[in-house]
């Protein structure tokens, strides 16, 4: 799922074609998929649409795109903007239409539960100001470039994913259910270390 084109984007792209970008819930609910699922995405994914507008100036009139953008971008700091934009995947025109169609069919069959979980998966991100603070503290340098922060946030998010998924595997092995407990995370962390996915310190950590 992480490699394929984003179905949110696919869904949003479809709706973009149907309605002007300024409409608050751009074509909300339009599409073949389950109405409920789509409506949920549309309303909550509204803020996703605005940055998507930026990427499709050819298809819409440039001025209208510009106007929408100016309302949203000028007030936001660059960091906040990019928070929204990181959720978006590859440029739609470079997306493989077959893959997109596949994702569409999968998405349309999601239950509410699955859809809400998927939404959390897509929208959650480590906050860039916090990450910047952390990186400045670790490196000691005063300036950290935005691309670096973005990359590290992405890497860390995927690492969290590996941790949680491995923890679930551990729970399945132990035949336990319910919320993930710290012991599962610790076992999952140990396994990731064995796989070599965790950077090893050349000097062991003292006085944690």
Partner 1 sequence: MSGNTPATAASSSKSKAAGTSQPQEKRKTLFQKELQHMMYGFGDEQNPLPETVALVEDIVVEYVTDLTHKAQEIGSKRGRLLVDDFLYLIRKDLPKLNRCRELLAMQEELKQARKAFDVDEKELVD
Report the residue from 57, 72, 102, 108 that binds partner 1 according to the rule CB under 8 A.
57
Shortest distance, position 31 Cβ to partner 1, whole Å = 23
- Closest by CA position to 167, among listed 151, 196, 188: 188
Is residue 175 within the footprint of partner 1 (CB under 8 A)? no
Site for partner 1 in 4-33 (CB under 8 A): none
Q: Tell me whether residue 21 or residue 51 sits nearer to partner 1 (CB atom).
A: 51
Tell which positions 151-170 bind partner 1, by CB under 8 A. Answer: 151-152, 154-161, 163-165, 167-168
Is 112 a binder of partner 1 (CB under 8 A)?
A: no
Cβ contacts of 184 within 8 Å, gap of 6 or more:
167, 168, 170, 171, 174, 176
C-beta separation of 27 from 16 below 8 A:
yes
The reply on whether position 88 binds partner 1 by CB under 8 A is: yes
Q: In the window 131-150, what residues touch partner 1 (CB under 8 A)?
A: 131, 133-135, 138-139, 141, 145-148, 150
Main-chain dihedrals φ then ψ at residue 56, nearest 5 degrees: -125, 55
**Shortest approach of partner 1 to residue 101 CB, angstroms?**
20
- For partner 1, the closer of residues 32 and 165 by Cβ is 165
- The nearer residue to partner 1, 39 or 185, going by C-beta atoms, is 185
Half-sphere CA count of 175, side-chain side, radius 13 A: 0
Candidate segments 12-20, 32-40, 80-88, 103-111, binder of partner 1 by CB under 8 A: 80-88
The residue among 29 and 164 lying less far from partner 1, judged by its C-beta, is 164
Helical segments of the chain, H only: 7-18, 35-44, 46-55, 62-73, 78-85, 97-108, 112-123, 128-139, 146-174, 182-195
Residue 156's Cβ-count burial label (10 Å; 0-12, 13-18, 19+) is middle
Number of residues that bind partner 1 (CB under 8 A): 75
């Amino acid at each position: 799922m992480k490699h394929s084109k984003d179905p949110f984007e696919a869904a949003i792209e479809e709706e973009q074609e149907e309605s002007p970008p300024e409409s608050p819930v751009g074509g909300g609910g339009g599409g073949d998929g389950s109405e409920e699922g789509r409506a949920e995405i549309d309303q909550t994914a509204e803020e996703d649409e605005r940055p998507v507008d930026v990427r499709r100036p050819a298809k819409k009139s440039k001025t209208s795109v510009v106007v929408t953008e100016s309302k949203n971008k000028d007030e936001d700091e660059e960091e906040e903007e990019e928070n929204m934009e990181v959720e978006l995947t590859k440029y739609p025109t470079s997306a493989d239409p077959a893959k997109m169609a596949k994702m569409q069919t999968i998405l349309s069959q999601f239950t509410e539960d699955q859809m809400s979980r998927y939404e959390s998966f897509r929208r959650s991100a480590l906050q860039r100001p916090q990450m910047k603070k952390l990186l400045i503290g670790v490196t000691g340098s005063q300036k950290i470039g935005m691309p670096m922060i973005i990359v590290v946030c992405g890497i860390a998010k995927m690492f969290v994913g590996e941790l949680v998924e491995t923890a679930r595997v551990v729970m399945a092995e132990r035949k336990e259910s319910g919320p993930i407990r710290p012991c599962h995370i610790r076992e999952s962390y140990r396994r990731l270390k064995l796989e070599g996915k965790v950077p090893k310190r050349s000097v062991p950590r003292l006085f944690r």
